Structure 1
Amino acid sequence: MHTRLLKRGLSLISVFAAVFVFCGTWLHLQVSADAAYYHAFNDYKDAGGSTATWNDIANAIDDVLEESYRLYEEGGQNGDYKGDGQWSAYELCRDSYNFWYETCGFERSVNGYSGSEVSKAELQFKTARKAVKAGESLDDVKAKFSALSEILHIQANHLDGLGDTGASGLTFGAGGSDAPAETDAAASDDEQQTTAVTTVTAGSNAIPTSGGSNSAATFLSCFLIILREGLEAILVVGAIIAYLVKSGNKDKLIHVYIGSVLAIAASFVCAWLLSLLKLANTANQEIIEGVTALVAVLVLFYVSNWMISKAEADTWNKYIDDQVKASAETGSVFTLAFTAFLAVFREGAEVILFYQPLLKDASSTSWVWGGFGVGCVVLVFVFLAIRFLTVKLPIRPFFLGTSILMFVMSISFLGSGIKELIEGDVIDMTSPEWLQNLIPFNDTLDVLGIYPVLETLIPQLILLLITLMIFVMQKWKTKNKNEAGILAILFGGLGAHKFYLGKYGQGLICVAFCWSFIPAVLGIMQGVHYLTETDEQFEEELQPKPKKSKNNKQPKKSPAAKKS
């Protein structure tokens, strides 16, 4: 009896032991699987992950992409990649950009030597996310993940001083990530850290290493960041100030200066809020930057066409006479000040967020401020050259040059603004291979905001066509109701009739809402109206409505006066 009970007890213990061993093994495997990658760079760093070289960071991002692919593969075992696994894979792929590439300083460091390389990586991150979200085949997702990993390792090798070549580190479950060919995988930790000190080049200082930071690289990176981002704002603000001086409105310069100073203050506030709300390096930051850029496009385009309309000498002289009588209009001054505000604010918050991690490293603080200071000095010289040299130009070249500058800036802002919205997953991306072969990634095109993406190129081409159309229309001295009517019916959705009549603000509103087809419907109605009214009625509509003067308002009669 006792023997039987003992046997049963031993059997139960054996079963419990087997279950315990199984659960423990399963739990260990789960923990190991979780530890194979880190959701964010900060978690990786807190866990003691290696940051000796940029290839260490690229390998860690590879681990995140490997896990994303594993989730995607598991979620699509039934042939349908539309389940929870797909969404988890998408989120992880998205976070590999937001919480790794941007957060760890990779993007900032690459931006220190090539802005186009940053754009290439950003758009490839988007391509990879799009493939997962669209439920593409495993082979297609593999190819796009591998292309992304290759770009990251090429950039890592450049930052590590190992040349400008590299290969994908992804194995998709076939084994651990291969060490870069240029490094010795068998080297000891001390040897690898020593190599990092002697070979790592510009940009590596964003991540502290045991060998310290590269002071010259920090200085150069900070100098290039403020120079590249600040140059656009300086060009716009300088052109506006030169215009006010040229038009005899020096007393209105204070408004532009106030707009610029407010933009700098707003940039600090925006950067602080993004950090406080933990929205920095997320889709929210990209959306804010994108929307700001698109608003700046509308204002810059309006100012550009307004300035080119003043290029003719007789038009300019008439404008000067009007200004002598009534000084600068409040609305015009506000528009110019607002343009200066947007030009400075557009990149201000991003520049501050770029500098924040660099300033946390006490050993490189002086080099950060040194690069920033020298960059600001260069920008001051650029501003002074625009401020004092351009005003000496004849009227026509001055306004044509200023207008062209504003237009180029609007094209650049339009492309970069839409790209920011693409990165924020607000807009989808279409980048066929033939277009990538036609428009390569290089720093010149990157500054102009031109990318091999249809969603950025098509709006830029539309803006270019509208500008050419306005330029041709301004050559027509007289406005014809039949021409206005035909333009309204055929191209009312793009505001062609408004630009033809010189109503640029209304034309821009039509362009901004052309996607809704409301401007097209209103254009047809206005076109019919123009064609059916008389010439006298048309001319009367074109006449500006007289403004009510505050000084000429009649005093209200008292009730007693009314009775009498």
Structure 2
Amino acid sequence: MRSLLKAALLVFLICSTLIPHAGAEAKTDALYVSIGQAISAVKAEDRDALSKRIATLAKQSKELADSDEKAVILKRLSTLKQHQDASFATISADLTALSTAVRTLEETMRPAQDATARTRLLDLHEVTKQMRQADAGERKTLEQTLLKEWTARESVVREESIGHYGKVEMALSAIRIAQARQTFDQTEWNEALDQFDTSIDSFVEGDIVKTASVELTDLIRLLDQASDALVAKDLDGARSTLTTFIAQWPSGEGAVRTRDSALYTQVETDVPLLLARLNDETRNATITSLQELSASLGQLTDQTSYTFVDAMLVMVREGLEALLIISALVALTRKANLRGERHIWFGAVLGLLASGLLALIIQFFFSTALASVGREQIEGWTGLFAVLVMLLVGNWLHSKTAITSRQTQLVSDLSRTSLFIVSFLTIFREGAETLLFYVGMAPAMTPLALGGGILAAILLIGLVSIAVIYFGVRLPIRRLFLGATILIYVMAFKILGVSLHALQLTGVLPVHPLALPPVAWIGFYPTIETVVPQVLVGLIIILTVLRKQRRGTSLKKVS
């Protein structure tokens, strides 16, 4: 318990150190988001939505630190309130004036420009120049060189302009997609390189790029634009639009995932495959698929608030699998009299605290698409490490299945470090995302519904966990170990597919589709990049099982 308190104190101190540095920039980002939403309400001529956005702007403006720039913002906001019932053209002009005032405040907050760092960014043009002239054998190597050189220089862009940083990352994704095409298109390749160069030049020249949230209607519009481009037989335009959709999807996925998990899975699985398979032969089928996805997403736009059930289902969906693994491990340690239960619970609690810390960092440092992309990548890389540890734990569990067939008591303990790591990672992988979903849902529901839903989910997951532990310790020890082995191996297979797919969605991995149906509930996504590693893991599991069975047979003969 003393160690747990120390860990909690450490997390609190880190949060206290980080938040003040991020607060000012986060507040201007929030203002830009609200202004953008107000502009959308003006375009839709929706005065109720506009009134809500103005109220939000008033609250956000009051939280700004006192300054001359804040006084101007409050003055512009006062004018906007006075014109709230005026024509939409007048309101639009007021919003433009308010946006200009926020931009002025942002300029005063911007740190002094690092001339040397900016000059080093221009050196990247030499790499892109070589990439335009490269042959097939050189393109991949130069792409890796560009990524390496950008990584060495990216900090100045990330610290000064999240908007520019997101544009550069999107350009890098376009370069990866162009490189991964089965049939290379020089025009697409050059356009992606142009996009990268333009983004770098825009930052160096000091252009302002506003960050904005992605609404569900924005995602629907992109699908419709891609469909219209295909109807006009503009395959390049459709590819570009779908690429933009994939880049923006992580920022808008929460609105889908919290309302329709099946549709969320379908969109996340289908769109990358539709893009990768897009050609003249698949054009009509792609049009149909995009129109169906657009119509399904459109049905969600009618829901303007969340309920108690929505809040409950978010945590149940995200947390049940993790708690199932932890409960099974606890049942094992109790049944077999193994040391390590304390490490399991400590890993779970620390994973939850680390998730909270990560959610705070993302919320305060990155309030745009970049945050969502980073969150997906963290989940992807963390998942791959979790798979490795799960395979080691599964191997140990299966070995003990053979031993317990002839012994009533175990003679060795599972590494307490492994128990801790598995417990920590299963909670950490989903924890931050769950917390961020609740942050997004909170403004659209009552505190009672939000709190009640979370408490109901905790109660439900807790009851399931207690049941797993209660019935687990009453099973014959061999069956308990066998069941835990199967659970660990199945979850490793699923997490591997989900993690690789998350890296595909953020452009880290390319997408080469296979002619197979997806099975999302088991983490099976039909692409070369996901299937090949899963097949290898499956072979490792099979070989491990066969080897352990032979060893168990030998032990029986000896005894």
Report TM bin, short chain.
0.5 to 0.7
Tell me the distance in 1 between the aligned counterparts of 2:496 and 2:463: 27
Matches within 5 A, 1:148-547: 148-157=290-299, 159=300, 200=302, 204-205=303-304, 213=305, 218-249=307-338, 252-278=340-366, 282-313=372-403, 317=407, 320-321=410-411, 323=412, 328=413, 332-361=415-444, 363-432=445-514, 434-436=515-517, 439=518, 445-477=519-551
1:92 aligns with 2:244: yes
Tell me the distance in 2 between the aligned counterparts of 1:415 and 1:336: 22
Tell me the distance in 1 between the aligned counterparts of 2:552 and 2:355: 46
Return the offset for 1:239.
1.2
Return the offset for 1:62.
4.4
- Structure-1 residue corresponding to 2:219: 61
The answer on whether the counterparts of 1:290 and 1:418 sit within 8 Å (CA) in structure 2 is: yes
Tell me the distance in 1 between the aligned counterparts of 2:487 and 2:540: 16
> Once superposed, what is the RMSD of the aligned Cα atoms?
3.8
* SS of residue paired to 1:237: helix
- Structure-2 residue corresponding to 1:108: 258
Matches within 5 A, 1:3-18: none
The answer on whether the counterparts of 1:65 and 1:92 sit within 8 Å (CA) in structure 2 is: no
Return the offset for 1:450.
2.5
The answer on whether the counterparts of 1:412 and 1:449 sit within 8 Å (CA) in structure 2 is: yes
- What letter matches 1:246 in structure 2? K
Q: 1:315 to 1:149 in 2, by over 3 A?
A: same
**Residue deviations 1:238-274 (CA, integer Å, cap 9, x gap):** 1111121122135x32221111111001111111112
Q: 1:127 to 1:337 in 2, by over 3 A?
A: same
Could you say which structure has the higher helix fraction?
Answer: 2
- Structure-2 residue corresponding to 1:43: 36
- What letter matches 1:287 in structure 2? Q
Q: 1:41 to 1:140 in 2, by over 3 A?
A: farther
Q: 1:145 to 1:98 in 2, by over 3 A?
A: farther
Q: 1:232 to 1:314 in 2, by over 3 A?
A: closer
**Residue deviations 1:503-549 (CA, integer Å, cap 9, x gap):** xxxxxxxxxxxxxxxxxxxxxxxxxxxxxxxxxxxxxxxxxxxxxxx
**Residue deviations 1:360-419 (CA, integer Å, cap 9, x gap):** 23x522112211111110111111112122112112111111111111111111121111
* SS of residue paired to 2:337: coil
Return the offset for 1:431.
3.4
**Higher mean C-alpha deviation, range 223-232 or range 448-457:** 448-457
**Residue deviations 1:473-522 (CA, integer Å, cap 9, x gap):** 12333999xxxxxxxxxxxxxxxxxxxxxxxxxxxxxxxxxxxxxxxxxx
Return the offset for 1:456.
2.7
The answer on whether the counterparts of 1:223 and 1:371 sit within 8 Å (CA) in structure 2 is: yes
Return the offset for 1:340.
0.3
Q: 1:460 to 1:45 in 2, by over 3 A?
A: farther
The percentage of counterpart residues that share the same residue type is 25
**Higher mean C-alpha deviation, range 231-240 or range 452-461:** 452-461
- What letter matches 1:245 in structure 2? R
* SS of residue paired to 2:510: coil
Tell me the distance in 1 between the aligned counterparts of 2:273 and 2:35: 25
The answer on whether the counterparts of 2:397 and 2:481 sit within 8 Å (CA) in structure 1 is: yes
* SS of residue paired to 1:248: coil
- What letter matches 2:36 in structure 1? D
The answer on whether the counterparts of 1:58 and 1:152 sit within 8 Å (CA) in structure 2 is: no
Tell me the distance in 2 between the aligned counterparts of 1:87 and 1:289: 26
Q: 1:311 to 1:479 in 2, by over 3 A?
A: closer
Return the offset for 1:428.
2.2
1:127 aligns with 2:273: yes
Return the offset for 1:91.
5.6
1:118 aligns with 2:264: yes
Number of aligned pairs?
354
The answer on whether the counterparts of 1:292 and 1:346 sit within 8 Å (CA) in structure 2 is: yes
Return the offset for 1:286.
1.4
TM-score computed with the length of structure 2 as normaliser = 0.55
* SS of residue paired to 1:474: helix
Tell me the distance in 1 between the aligned counterparts of 2:552 and 2:438: 54
The answer on whether the counterparts of 2:497 and 2:523 sit within 8 Å (CA) in structure 1 is: yes
Q: 1:120 to 1:41 in 2, by over 3 A?
A: farther
Unaligned stretches of 5+ in structure 2? 1-31, 50-213, 555-559
Q: 1:224 to 1:280 in 2, by over 3 A?
A: farther
Return the offset for 1:344.
0.8
Q: 1:227 to 1:155 in 2, by over 3 A?
A: same
Matches within 5 A, 1:26-37: none
Q: 1:128 to 1:220 in 2, by over 3 A?
A: same
Tell me the distance in 2 between the aligned counterparts of 1:102 and 1:64: 14
Tell me the distance in 2 between the aligned counterparts of 1:42 and 1:130: 36
**Higher mean C-alpha deviation, range 422-431 or range 260-269:** 422-431
Tell me the distance in 2 between the aligned counterparts of 1:42 and 1:459: 45
TM-score computed with the length of structure 1 as normaliser = 0.55
Q: 1:255 to 1:121 in 2, by over 3 A?
A: same
The answer on whether the counterparts of 1:98 and 1:282 sit within 8 Å (CA) in structure 2 is: yes
